[in-house]
Amino acid sequence: MQDSDSAPEITPELSAAAHKINVKKLEKAPYDHTGKHPGNTSFSYLLRLMINVGKSVIFRNFESDIIPPNNGGRISIATHINGLVDPSLMILTQKKRIISLGRHDLITGPIIGWWSRRNGAQPVLRKAEVEAGVTDGNFARKINDRSMLTIANCLAGGHGAVIMPEGKSHQDSKLHALRTGAARAALASAAIAKKRGKPAPVIQPTGLHWERHYWFRTKSYVEYTDPIEIKLVYDDDKISRLEQGEWIEPPVSAVNELKQEMYQKLSPLTPGAPDWETYRAWKLIAHIKAIRDEKPLISLSQEVHATRHFRDGINDSNYQELIPDAIEAAQILHSHDLDANALNRNQKLKKMSLAAYSNALIGFLLMISFSIPAIIGSGTQSLLARYMAEKSDEGLDARTTYFFLAAMFSPVIFWPLTSLIIILILEIKFLSIQGILCFILIIFGFYISSLIFLLGYDQWSKFRRIATISKFSNTSAGAEFNTLIEKLNIQLGPLK
Please give the backbone phi and psi of residue 246, each rounded to the nearest 5 degrees, phi first: -105, 125
Per-residue confidence (pLDDT) for residue 184, from 0 to 100: 93
Mean pLDDT of the chain: 90
Give the model confidence (pLDDT) of 193-228 as tens digits: 999 999 999 999 999 999 998 888 999 999 999 999
Per-residue confidence (pLDDT) for residue 183, from 0 to 100: 95
Does pLDDT of 16 surpass 60?
A: no
Per-residue confidence (pLDDT) for residue 5, from 0 to 100: 56
Under the banding of pLDDT at 50, 70 and 90, the label for residue 496 is very low
Nearest to 224 by CA among 243, 205, 238, 210: 205
Nearest to 405 by CA among 125, 161, 109, 126: 109
pLDDT average, residue stretch 310-337:
89
Q: CA 288 to CA 258: how far, in whole Å?
A: 39
Per-residue confidence (pLDDT) for residue 129, from 0 to 100: 75
Give the model confidence (pLDDT) of 118-129 as tens digits: 888 888 887 777
Q: CA 247 to CA 327: how far, in whole Å?
A: 50
Give the model confidence (pLDDT) of 259-281 as tens digits: 999 999 999 999 999 999 999 99
Can you list the domains of the chain with their CATH numbers? 17-269 (3.40.1130), 276-347 (no CATH), 354-473 (no CATH)
Per-residue confidence (pLDDT) for residue 19, from 0 to 100: 65
Q: Specify the range with the lowest mean pLDDT, choosing from 64-68, 101-105, 280-284, 346-350.
A: 101-105
pLDDT average, residue stretch 455-470:
95
pLDDT greater at residue 150 or residue 130: 150
pLDDT average, residue stretch 51-75:
95
Does pLDDT of 350 surpass 70?
A: yes
The pTM of this model reads: 0.89
Give the model confidence (pLDDT) of 479-490 as tens digits: 999 999 999 988
Concatenated DSSP letters for 132-166? TTSS-HHHHHHHHHHHHHHHHHHHHTT-EEEE-TT
